[in-house]
Chain A
Amino acid sequence: MTGQTAGEGRPFIRIEGVTKKFGAFTAVDNVSLDIEKGEFFALLGGSGCGKTTLLRMLAGFETPTAGRVFIDGQDMTTVPPYDRPVNMMFQSYALFPHMTVEKNIGYGLKHEKISVAERQERVRSILDLVQLTPFAGRKPHQISGGQRQRVALARALVKQPKLLLLDEPLGALDKKLREHTQFELANIQYKLGITFVVVTHDQEEAMTLASRIAVMDKGVVRQIGTASGVYEFPNSKFVAGFIGSINMFEGRISGVADGLATVEVPELATSMKARADRPFATGSAITVAVRPEKISIARSAPPEGTPNVLAGVVQDLGYFGKDSLYRVKLDGGTILSVNSVNSRRGLEHERVAEWEDRVWLQFEPSSAILLQE
C-alpha cells in the first residue's frame, strides 16, 4: 500500500521500490512511498524493522541495493550526504565534543558562501529559537540532555534544509521533557514549514507528532495513514497489535446483513456483531478486534437484545488515576483487557468493579474491527 499523492504534481519525496541488503539480510524490502512538502511523516516500527536504514538512505549514508530515491524531483539515490539538501538530527545527537554550542551550530554554515555577519546572524536567531542563547559558550558536556537535544536540532535547522530527518528525537529524554519537547518540535515544524521525517519506535511519539505514519515490520511498510487511521482502522493483525493494545478473537463469518457482519467465535461460544465496511464472504475466517477503551464494564447485565455482551469475573485491576485497567476472565476462560476512564471521583469501595466481582462487558458493533490478515 503506498501513500496517495495529493493532487498537484509530483510528491516532495518519492521512494521507489527501494531495497537494501546487508549481506544475506534484507533490511528494507521493496518499499515505495511518497511524502508531501511540509508533512511531518513518521516511520514507526520495532527494532530491526528497517526504519533507520530507510532514514539513512534519505540522508545519504546508505545506498539502496535496488530502487530510487527522489527528493524535490531530483534523483538522489547515489548523491553523497554532503551534497544533499537534507539534514539529520542523530539519535545520539552526535554533537562535536570539542566545540562550543555556538561553534557546533555554526559548523554547517562554514561550507555555505555567506558573509561572516550573516552566518553570525543565523546562528544567533536559531539560538534564540531553541532558547539556548545563554549557553552559547558551553561545551556539549557542560549542558543537560534536553539542552543537547536542542543544540542538535538547531545545528540541523540552521542550514535551512528542505528536509529534516530525525532519528528517535526524544528517545534519550525523560517523560516530562519528552512531552514538552514533542509540542516544541511540532511548533517549530509548523513555523518553518520544513518537511520532517521522524523515525521512532514509540507509537505515542509518532501519533502526537506526525501528520502521517508508516508502520514498518521486517523491512516492509505494513500501513500508511494518519494517527487515527492506523489506530482505529488498522489493516492487519500486526498493525492492530503493534499500535496500542487490543483484544482479538478468531472466528468465522456466518452472515452479513445491513452492513453488520455476524461472526461466530468458538472460544467464547457465542456470536458477535461487527460493522462490515467492505464485503465479506460468508464462512470466511476472520479476526474480531476491539480496543480496551471501547469496551464498557458494569456490575449489572445490560438489557436483553444488546449486541456483543460478555460476562466474566474481574481477575486483575490496575488503577492509574485517570483511568483503570481491568483484566476480566470470561466464562469461557479467555482474558479480556478493558480500559475505563475514572470519570467519577471516589475511593476503592466506590469503584465500578472490584477484584472477583462478576461483571458484564459490552461494545458497539461499530467499535469492532474485522481483520483478515
Chain B
Amino acid sequence: MNRKPVFLYSCLCFGFAFFYVPILSMIFFSFNKSRLATVWGGFSIEWYGKLFANAQILKAALLSLEIALLSATLATILGTMAGLALSRFRRFRGRTLFSGFVTAPLIMPEVITGISMLMMFILMAEWIGWPGSRGFTTITLAHITFSMTYVTTVVQSRLSSMDVSIEEAAMDLGSRPWQVLKDITLPVISPAILSGWLLAFTISLDDVVISSFVSGPGTTTLPILIWSKVKLGVTPDINALAAIIVTVVAVCVAIAGVVMYRQEQRRERDVQMALRANN
C-alpha cells in the first residue's frame, strides 16, 4: 500500500479548487487598493471602512435580517404543522393534492413563483385593499411561502424515520394526542425543526429573484442591493461585504462542527460506560 492514489488526490484537489478558489480570490481582492476590482493595486482595508460608513448597505442588511428572522420563524411553524399533517394524520381527502402543493415551490422556477406572488398581491390590493403597498410584508409573505416547503420536507423526513411506537407508548401511558405532541414528538424532532429554521433563514437571506418581484420602493434587501450595484460593475466594497459574510458563515460552521464533535465524543464515552456497566 505504498502507492499513493494519485487520481483520487487530484480529484480531491480539483474539487477543493472548484469550491474555494472563487471565494478566496474574492476575499483577496477585497483588500485591493485599486478601484478596479480585477486589477491589483496594493494592499488596503479602506473598502471595509467605506462599507461601514455606507448607510444604504447597512439599512439593506438590517432589513434582510429582519425579513429572514420573521419569515424563517413563521415558515418553521407552518412547515412543521404541514409535515405533521402529512406524516401523522390518517389518509385524509385531498392529501395527495396537499402534498403536491406543499412541495411545488421546490420544483417551480423562482421566476414563476415571483410573478404569481406579485399578481396575487396586486389582485388582493384591488379587491380587499390589502396589502396597500409592497414592501416588508409582501417580501416576508413570499419568503414564507417557499421556505416553508423546505421546513416541511426536513420535518416530514425526520418524522417518517422516527419510531412511531414511542408516540404510542406515550398514549398508552395516558397522554392525549396533544400531550404526546408537546411532550414527545416535538422534543424528539427538535433538531430537524432547528435545521429547517436555519435552512429557511439562509434561503430568505440570499433570495434575489422572488424578492425583486414583490418588493416595493424603499424596501431594498441586501441581495437586491448587491445585485443592482454589481450591474454597474463590481466594486471592491461589495467584495469586502461578501468577505465579511463568508467569514461569519465559516466561523459559525466551525463552531457548530466543534460542538457536534464534542457531543459525539461524549455520547461515545457514555455508550462505552454503559457497555462496561452491562450486567
Where the two chains meet, the residues of A that have a C-beta atom closer than 8 Å to any C-beta of B are 59-61, 80-82, 86-88, 90-92, 94-98, 107-108, 110-112, 135, 138-139, 141-144, 146-147, 155-156, 159
Contacts and interface: CB of A to CB of B under 8 A. Distances in A.
Contact of A108 (B166, B173, B277): B173
B271 A111 contact: no
B174 A159 contact: yes
A141 B274 CA distance: 8
A81 B172 contact: yes
A82 B267 contact: no
A98 B169 contact: no
Contacts of A81: 168, 171-172
7 contacts: A92-B165, A107-B183, A139-B270, A142-B270, A144-B275, A146-B279, A156-B172
Q: Which of B166, B176, B183, B270 has the most CB of A within 10 A?
A: B166
Interface residues of B, number: 26
Contacts of A142: 270-271, 273-274
A158 to B, nearest CB: 9
Nearest to A134: B277
Contacts of B188: 96-98
Contact of A143 (B170, B184, B274): B274
Interface of B: 163, 165-166, 168-176, 179, 183-184, 187-188, 267, 270-271, 273-275, 277-279
Given A60-B172, A94-B169, 17 more contacts: A80-B171, A81-B168, A87-B172, A90-B168, A90-B169, A91-B165, A92-B165, A95-B166, A96-B170, A97-B166, A142-B273, A144-B274, A147-B278, A155-B173, A156-B172, A159-B173, A159-B174
Nearest to A165: B172
A59 B170 CA distance: 12
B173 A107 contact: yes
A109 B3 CA distance: 64
Nearest to A108: B173
A155 B166 CA distance: 12
Contacts of A141: 267, 270-271, 274
Contacts of A143: 274, 277
Contact of A144 (B165, B168, B278): B278
Nearest to B266: A142
Contacts of B179: 111
A323 B183 CA distance: 53
A94 B176 contact: no
Contacts of A95: 166, 169
Contacts of B174: 82, 108, 110-112, 159
A94 B165 CA distance: 6
B184 A96 contact: yes
Nearest to B173: A108
Given A94-B168, A141-B271, A87 B163 contact: no
Contacts of B173: 82, 87, 107-108, 111, 155-156, 159
Nearest to A91: B165
A182 B183 CA distance: 32
B264 to A, nearest CB: 12
Contacts of B274: 138, 141-144, 147
Nearest to A152: B169
Given A111-B175, A141-B270, A144-B277, A98 B187 contact: yes
Contacts of A92: 163, 165
Contacts of A159: 173-174
Contacts of B166: 94-97
Contact of B175 (A82, A91, A94): A82
A59 B172 contact: yes
Nearest to B190: A98
Contacts of A146: 278-279
Contacts of B271: 141-142
A87 to B, nearest CB: 6
A143 to B, nearest CB: 5
Nearest to A148: B274
Nearest to B162: A97
A82 B170 CA distance: 8
B162 to A, nearest CB: 10
Residue of A61, A96, A110, A159 with highest tally of chain B CB at under 10 A: A96
A144 to B, nearest CB: 4
Nearest to B180: A82
A135 B274 CA distance: 10
